[in-house]
Structure 1
Amino acid sequence: MKAPPISAYTALSLTARLAIGLHCFTDYCQTRELKHTEIDAFLDDMWGLPLAITSPEAFTAWEEKHPHLVEVGLGDEFSDEFQAVLRHKNISPQELRHIIESVIEIVFASFYGAPQNQQSLDSLRSVIAATTGYGVPPAPPSLFAASLFADNHGWGKPLTGSMRDQWRFANT
């Protein structure tokens, strides 16, 4: 399966790129039949970011409650129980860690300084490359075309809860 060139995502905001990465991760997990409460918590947390960047207080509250898979993406180990699930599903922990790290780095590298446009695109490219091998196409850039890197210092225009939910539950 051939994904669009990374240039198709260049105009999109960091938030839109994260959404595409999260769709890739979700579809990868579905394709690999990987279900777990840690995955649900990770997805809920990361989909919370578009609403958390609306104020410093909301961001601080969001940042203080990350689930374990976010920490895995930042270097921690998978729990023993989660590793057992991966073994049972014949999923490489290194491969899954790489996907999680890449999803996280789409936005995390831009939290405390200037938006990291190229690093964000490189991280999105890594997610897409890792997941298309399992027949998972990335969400179409057109779905997120209203959220542009040119707006709000790379983050795009703020999303409402319903807009975020439209993105999250879009049939890609």
Structure 2
Amino acid sequence: MKTFAVAVASALVFTGTAHAEPAKVAHTSGKFESFSATAKAVTYDAKVPNGAKVVVVSVPTIGGGTKVLLKLNGLLPHRAYGAHVHVKKCGAAPADSGPHFQNVVDPVQPSVDPAYANPRNEIWLDVHTNANGFAYTSSTVDWQFTERHAQSVVLHNEHTHTKPGEAGTAGPRLACVNVEF
């Protein structure tokens, strides 16, 4: 898994333009397990089984954006999951990871306004697993993490909704992985 992350990060970072302060490359990998103070990836529901694997890589892009890649293995086969970058670290309770990270923060939380809860202002990583429980996706936004940094990726029960009043929602939180964006 580390080879995958290093290759992706190298390809995206070193082909980019110089920044006054280089954007941060973030990478984490691990296996989902019950919450503990040392767990990198936490499962809250059997829909993300203990031992399922996760890799998250975040790299700056050529034009000053961010590309986030999510690779999952060992999940339930032929199943849709929603996934988003969240503001806080994983905790003992699913809600501990806080709301979605938004480049422009909606003054009304929880955010369900499509003007803020959308894949250009947030990082959405919805996936559909194959017969072996494998899924891979990526999301690219035209902004980078600055003084505000996200701290996790949360897997949700269903793909992300987009209608007003439910934009950005994806059902219960099933699992969480800590990432130092």
- Using the size of structure 1 for normalisation, the TM-score is 0.29
TM norm structure 2? 0.28
- Bigger helix share: 1
Q: Greater relative contact order (Cα 8 A, min sep 6): structure 1 or 2?
A: 1
Pick the structure with more strand per residue: 2
